[in-house]
Structure formats: C-alpha cells, structure tokens
Amino acid sequence: MRMRGTTRIGTALLGVVALALTAACSGGGDDESGNEKVTLSYAVWDQNQKPAMESLAAEFTKTHPNIAIDVQLTPWEGYWTKLKAAATGGAAPDVFWMNGPNFQLYASNGVISPNPEQVDTSVYPKALADLYTFEGKSYGLPKDMDTVGVWYNKTLFDAAKVAYPKDDWTWADFQAAAAKLTDPAKGVFGTAAPLSSFQEYQYDTIAQAGGYVISPDGKTSGYADPKTIAGLKFWTDLIAGKQSPDLKTMTDTTPIQLFEAGKVAMYWGGSWNVSEFSGNDYTKGKIDVAPLPRGEKQATIIHGVSNQVGGKSEHSKQAWEFVKFLGSQPAAEILGKTGPIPAYNGTQTAWVAAHPELKLQTFLDEVAYAVPYPVSKNTAAWNEAELTHLTKAWSGEQPVDAAATALAADMNALLAKE
C-alpha cells in the first residue's frame, strides 16, 4: 500500500514536471515528436526480460533523443491488480505488456487504444495478430510468442528402453510410451496431467481432438461438445491408469518439480521453459523436446505478449512510436538473443541457435498448425468456472462428461452476461 502511494506521488510529480516541460517547450507551436522531451513509462512483469527491455529502450532513445523510457517492473503476481488499480485511477502506464486472456477486457473498456495507423501485421503469426484484434480494430503489436511441446527425459527413456518421440507421433504412441515409462517401484510416472495451466494441457488436447473451448464469435462454450470432452478424457484416463500422479499429489508437488526430480518422464511445457530446464542441474543435458502428439489433428496453443498504448496516455503519439519500434524487426532480433521467441517472422534463428543441444526448431515448426488461445471479454470469469467443475472430474468425484456439461452451462451463462 505504502509502495503504491509513493509510486502514485512519484507519477504525479513526473506528471507535473512533464507538464512544466510541455509548457516551456510548447511556445513554438505543436511540434509533436520534435523538441518536446518526454519520459514514457513502460510496465513489464518479467524480471528475466527486464535487461532486454532496457536495452531496447536505450536503442529507441538513440533514434528518438527526446523520448526517454522508464521500464517499470511489477512481478506477475501483482501485475494485473496494480495495472487495474492504476487504470481505474486514470494513471495507467504509457506503454505496457498485455496478454490474451486480459486483452478484450482492456480493449472494450478503452484502457488501451486501437492503433492510429494501419500496420502490416502479416509479419507476425496470424493467430497472434487475430488475438489482439477487437471489433475489427487491431491494438498494439505482438512482442513475443510461445507454443507448447513435450519435454522428455532421455535418461528415463533409455532406462525403460523406449524410443525417443518422433515428429509425427500420435496420441496412441504417447499413451504407449507413458505406460512403458511408468515405474511404480521407482515412483516414476510416464507423464503428468495437471489442472493448473490449461494452456499446456487441456486447451491443446481439446484442439487435437477436434473440439473447441469457445465458439469463434465468443458467444458459446464448447465444453459440452463430445470432441471437447474427448480432449479432456485424454488426461483423466492417464490419471486413472496411474501414468500420471493424481490431483492431490500434483497439488503438493507441482509436475515441473517432479519432472526436475526425474519422477515424471514427459512434461508438456512451453517454449518459455527453455531457460528453466537448461539452467536446472538435473534436467541440464538430460532432456529434449518433441512436438505435441497428433490426435484427430495436429494442434498446439499459440500465445504471445503484446505491447499496448495506454488509452489515457498523455503522450500517445510517442508511445505509439515506441510500440512500433518494439514490434519491428531490429527490436525482435535484440529480443531473440535472450528469449522469449520474438513474434516477428524470420527473426527467431538467434533464439533457436542459443541452445543447439535442444531441438528448439520444434516450437517454430508447430506455428504452422497452431490454434489461438481461447479468450472472450471476461475470460477470468469462466476460467474460474473451468476449475470449479473440472476439479471434480480430475479428482474422480464426477465423470468427465457430467462435469464438462455442467461447466458448459455455467460458461454459457457467464458469456451471455458479457
């Protein structure tokens, strides 16, 4: 609370200074991006990416000497709470990171502004450009992207004499491998089927089964669809077959911890896990990555963060210049050196080359058949309903189809209120 108070005063002071500067400089007429010296606030949530953001800011100031960038880090846990409070008070940052689930909420409330000019978005994966389009208008520009793959422990594969996954493997191959890798005597599970992040699990298998989470118009839930239910059953069957730890165990010890302890052989994770796994003492050198197995079709969820201009920004013109720079090819190349994967097509080679021991190209090849992250105007509301209902299916309290049908009814009611 105190912190926020200080920040608010700081922002107010900055505002006063900026106003004074504007007043001092505006004598010469409306010389927009010319002589006016401004400082833009740029809110981000990832500590690991802060240095990269600062070097991007410095790079931008080189060509725009009158625009300084203040990179403000708020850790993920508090990012949205703080941003919401700031936006409510009319003091949102000039430029900030945005994700898919929150995008439509911010766009529909005018907290972010639509792009003032047409930009060629064909340089980004289409699913990402679509994700940040609301009512026909595009907002901000994609910054990075991520897809999902199967991280696997080669040591455990070798010990169980199972062949490494091929690029064209199927659900049946995955299930067979999971069964062979499971070794109750050693406490090793073939895989893990958690509920904590749908992006790497449920949403992917739902798409692979040919089902859907939300209709393209964002009005109806797909959870009652038999194909969607098949995508969910994929996971509950693995728990029932003891090829995955049960929900209680995964609540106590997260699947990623189990994977990093050699207790889970195949872990469905994102391209963002690269730095974690290549830095971890156990997984380093023991693992590789394969594409997601094919169900009725091949699919992975694609998601990416975008940079947005605050709707109430007093320097929206300069802020848009900065967002355009962040979405450009040179900026993407700087980002690619440290990761995550830059969204700009063709700039990802540096990211892939950084870890020659891992088949990181997998994540890029998957973009061809990637499906967008399911969102609507109030995604958070039905995200909660997903957990309320599916926890019952995961713990075995209720059959999957009953839980999914009840979820669909709740979700439809929530979507009707949007």
Partner 1 sequence: MQRHRVTEALWGYAFIAPTALGLAVFYLWPVLQTAYYSFTEWGAFGGHTWTGTDNYVRLIHDPEVGRALVNTFAYTFLGLLSIPLAIVFAALLNRKMRGVGIYRTFFFLPVVTMPVAVAMVWRWLYNGDYGLINYVLSLVGIDGPNWIADPDTALYALVVIGVWTSVGYNLIIFLAGMQAIPADYYEAAELDGAGPLRQFLRITLPLLSPTAFFVSVVSVIGSLQLFDLVFIIAGSGNAARANPAYPRLETVVQLFYDRAFVTNDRGYGAAIVIMLLLIITVLTALQFRLQRKWVHYA
From the list 160-168, 217-225, 232-240, 373-381, the region that binds partner 1 by CB under 8 A is 373-381
Q: Which residue, 55 or 391, has its beta carbon nearer to partner 1?
A: 391
Told to check if 395 binds partner 1 by CB under 8 A, we report yes
Told to check if 249 binds partner 1 by CB under 8 A, we report yes
Residue 334 in contact with residue 56, Cβ under 8 Å?
A: yes
Region of residue 89 (left: phi > 0; alpha: psi -120 to 50; beta: else):
alpha
Near partner 1 by CB under 8 A: residue from 52, 111, 287, 375? 111
Measuring CA to CA, how many Å separate 231 from each of 117, 360, 362, 364? 41, 26, 22, 23
Q: Which residue, 140 or 194, has its beta carbon nearer to partner 1?
A: 194
DSSP assignment letter at 307? E
Q: Which residue, 1 or 23, has its beta carbon nearer to partner 1?
A: 1
Told to check if 388 binds partner 1 by CB under 8 A, we report yes
Residues near partner 1 (CB under 8 A), total: 29
From 76, 101, 186, 122, select the one nearest 345 (Cα to Cα): 122
Q: Can you say how many angstroms the Cα of residue 59 is from the centroid of all Cα atoms in its chain?
A: 25
Residue 72 in contact with residue 43, Cβ under 8 Å?
A: yes
Q: How far is the CB of 83 from partner 1 (least distance, A)?
A: 10
Buried b (16+ CB within 10 A) or exposed e, 244-278: bbebebbeeeebbebbbebbbbbbbbbbbbbeebe
Near partner 1 by CB under 8 A: residue from 55, 253, 361, 398? 253
Six token digits for residue 25: 């400089």
Strand locations in 251-372 (E): 264-270, 287-290, 300-302, 306-309, 341-342, 370-372
Pick out residues in 179-198 that bind partner 1 (CB under 8 A): 187, 194-196
Told to check if 84 binds partner 1 by CB under 8 A, we report yes
- Over the window 301 to 340, marking each residue x when it contacts partner 1 by CB under 8 A and - when it does not, the resulting string is ----------------------------------------
Helix (H) or strand (E) holding 293: none
Near partner 1 by CB under 8 A: residue from 150, 247, 274, 406? 247
Told to check if 206 binds partner 1 by CB under 8 A, we report no
Q: How far is the CB of 21 from partner 1 (least distance, A)?
A: 28
Q: Which residue, 90 or 346, has its beta carbon nearer to partner 1?
A: 90
Q: Which residue, 259 or 325, has its beta carbon nearer to partner 1?
A: 259
Q: How far is the CB of 182 from partner 1 (least distance, A)?
A: 16
Q: Can you say how many angstroms the Cα of residue 129 is from the centroid of all Cα atoms in its chain?
A: 14
Residue ranges binding partner 1 (CB under 8 A): 81, 84, 87-89, 105, 109, 111, 187, 194-196, 247-249, 251-253, 378, 380-381, 383-384, 387-388, 391, 394-395, 397
